[in-house]
Structure 1
Amino acid sequence: MTRLRLPLLLALPGLALGAAGVLHPHHLTYDTARSWFGLHLAGLVVFPLVGLALMRVVAGRRDPLAWLVRLAAYGYATFYTALDVVSGLAAGWVTRRIGPGVPRPEEVSLLFRLGTPIGEVGSAALLVAVVALTLDLARRRPRAALLGLLLVPGAWLVHTDHIFAPQGAIGMALIGVGTGLAGLVQGQVVTLRADPDATDRP
């Protein structure tokens, strides 16, 4: 169980955001503004943890692929948090404050025009991070490259659908599962290097 503790922790942020995506309103209106704001307030804490989990998989290493994973994961965490603040917290709060029955003003649409491209930079960085991690896994343990079948489609779904259900929510869940399994594989690689006579497990 101790060996599984870290992989489970690494999987948790993506799985939590996938679950939150099921509750995420598809449209921002006065009626949905409260839940829109609340979910993005929680996301302010959880979104960066997805990037931190990816960084943790390559912890303690200084090779170029590990640094690419770190830098891309940092880019995701930074820019996606900005999306969360602008298009989530700010837009949700302003829409709620405007009151019921009032058409959404242009100023709220301008928030989305600011937040959306910032978020696209973040989700593109997430794609770079998971592709780099997949390449790293392939180099260090070829069969583990199959985790790219979870990580890369997951990041693509987040890039195209945020965490909106079903595609975006599924995407974040795939990233969570893929990151957790990558952490498990990383632990096995460290064990094998410490004990060269250990049995190579898939």
Structure 2
Amino acid sequence: MTTSKRIALVTAAPLALAAAGLVHPHGLSMSTAADWADLHILLLPLFPLLTIGLLVPLWHRPRPGIQAAATAAAWTGAFVYSAFYTGLDAVAGIAAGTAVEHAPAGANPGRLKRPLYDVGESLGHIGAYALICAVVATAAALWPRYGARVLPGTAVLLVAGWSFVDSHIFWPRGVWTMCGFALGFALLAWTTGSHSRGRSRTAD
């Protein structure tokens, strides 16, 4: 796969999420509940795809020893993120939106959504921290072969990951967070792709 195709593959999900953030309701109320629930249904398969940005650089990379362990840790972190952040979307997004949308007249939306928000945020925090751990493990797996070349992409991803803990995709910070993921993933894809081609040409 060419480097340009790798970059397109790893940036597709974060850029799509950034675009979704531009139309994401800023709050959940009776008037926004239907859009809130519908949007999170559409987002349900998108958030797990964020991990493609780590899986592509790691593909066929594990070596015996610490690289294999770091790769396994990165894949595990990516799985935990996918599972728990999907839980956030399902509970605080789809469930909360549906509950408020179908609440009886005169009901207090805050009393309906607050318990769901609390559960969803707890799940989302686990997922976001797992993604940060996956970024660190990915850097450790790639370091023996690529060295300091992985640092720029890793640094951008760590900043984006920390922002992701409480920004979701809400405008403005959440949108810029997704753009940060896209940039970090692109840097890793470029580093691993271009360096691999250079090694192949040398071998030829």
What does residue 155 of structure 2 align with?
Answer: 149
Q: How many Å apart are 1:6 and its aligned residue? A: 2.0
Q: Call closer, same or farther: CA 1:54–1:175 in 2, change over 3 Å.
A: same
What does residue 114 of structure 2 align with?
Answer: 109
CA contact (8 A) 1:14 1:177 kept: no
Q: How many Å apart are 1:105 and its aligned residue? A: 5.8
The superposition leaves residues 49-69 of structure 1 with CA deviations (integer Å, 9 ceiling, x where unpaired) of 002332222011332222222
Q: How many Å apart are 1:8 and its aligned residue? A: 0.8
**SS of the residue aligned with 2:60?**
coil
What does residue 11 of structure 1 align with?
Answer: 11
Q: Distance in 2 between matches of 1:52 and 1:108?
A: 32
Q: Distance in 2 between matches of 1:127 and 1:99?
A: 41
Q: Distance in 2 between matches of 1:105 and 1:165?
A: 22
**SS of the residue aligned with 2:46?**
helix
Q: Distance in 2 between matches of 1:182 and 1:15?
A: 16
**SS of the residue aligned with 2:109?**
coil
Superposed, 1:91-170 pairs within 5 Å as 91-98=96-103, 101-104=106-109, 106-139=111-144, 140-170=146-176
Q: Percent of aligned pairs with the same residue? A: 31
TM-score, normalised via structure 1 length: 0.88
CA contact (8 A) 1:13 1:50 kept: yes
Among 177, 183, 200, the alignment partner of 1:194 is 200
Q: Distance in 1 between matches of 2:115 and 2:17?
A: 26
Task: Tell me which amino acid in the other structure corresponds to 1:85.
Answer: A
The superposition leaves residues 138-196 of structure 1 with CA deviations (integer Å, 9 ceiling, x where unpaired) of 44231331112321111111112111121122112211221122122211232233233
Q: Call closer, same or farther: CA 1:8–1:99 in 2, change over 3 Å.
A: farther
- Which range moves more in the overlay, 18-27 or 132-141? 132-141
Q: Distance in 1 between matches of 2:174 and 2:164?
A: 5
**SS of the residue aligned with 1:195?**
helix
What does residue 39 of structure 2 align with?
Answer: 39
Query: What is the number of residues matched between the two proteins?
Result: 198
Q: Distance in 2 between matches of 1:36 and 1:28?
A: 7
CA contact (8 A) 2:78 2:130 kept: yes
Give the unaligned 5+ runs of structure 2. 63-67
Q: Distance in 2 between matches of 1:196 and 1:64?
A: 29
Q: Distance in 1 between matches of 2:166 and 2:91?
A: 18
Give the unaligned 5+ runs of structure 1. none
